[in-house]
Amino acid sequence: MLLVLYGFALTLLAHVLARIIGNYFPRLPVVVIAMFIVLGLLWLVQWSYDDYLLHVDGVFKHLLGYVTVALAIPLAAIRLDGVPVKALAALCVFATISGVLLPMGLAYMLHLSEPSIMAFATRAVTTPIALNIATLIHAPLATVTLIVILSGVVGAAASPLILRKLDDERAAGLALGLAAHAIGTVQAWQRGPVAGRYAAFGMAVNGILTAIWLPTAILLMRG
């Protein structure tokens, strides 16, 4: 229990330091900064990553579900006045389908195994939803976690460059939420509250739609 508290305190310290450093580097995702700080602190205290993960993994997996649900709170502040609802709905449907088919197609072209292809199908949704989908479609959970987190980190890190000429914070937030799920949503909040709310909206809608149609389609194809 002591090591669990120790690991939690170390992670919290990394988060606080990352927030401070992030003020000087606003284009760099806080989560990326925190990852490197965690590794640095583990090296400093001579604590192996495997042992650290063993003690804190269960706690953070449990908290992850609550954090994901809490991201829905900003949705209450969203106003859709002046937003083309039909176009927005079509965009969300397109995003959830392409977010599954494109990674699966890439994995298929690379001649990966069927379980790996199934793991890539969960790329565009946040980790708690992805793990539940992976259980239903029999994808390897460790691979799913790696793909989801890595895609979120890459998407959030690349967003300042890709979205640099996009002035509409609603569009920028929606793009981050749809493409980079929870990590992208954190990055959107660094841009501002409007982008953050729309990122949470995109992440939530994409997660719900994918959780409904993807397992259903896979199970029907398998007979």
Q: Is the pLDDT of residue 72 over 70?
A: no
Q: How many domains does the chain have?
A: 2
Its domain, for residue 169, covers 77-221
- For the entire predicted model, the pTM comes to 0.77
153/215 same-domain check? yes
- How many Cβ atoms are within 10 Å of 25's Cβ, its own excluded? 12
Model confidence band, residue 42 (pLDDT cutoffs 50, 70, 90): very high
| 103 and 187, same domain (yes or no) | yes
Greatest pairwise CA separation for the chain in angstroms: 55
Does one domain contain both 63 and 106?
Answer: no
Asked if 112 and 209 sit in the same domain, the reply is yes
d(CA 155, CA 177) in angstroms, rounded, equals: 10
Are 119 and 52 part of one and the same domain? Answer: no
Is the same domain home to 81 and 33? no
pLDDT at residue 168 greater than cutoff 70? yes
Shared domain for 24 and 118, answered yes or no, is: no
Angle at 202 between CA 212 and CA 137, to 5 degrees: 30
**Which residue has better confidence, 132 or 67?**
132
Q: Is the same domain home to 120 and 208?
A: yes
Q: Cβ–Cβ contacts within 10 Å for residue 37, how many?
A: 19
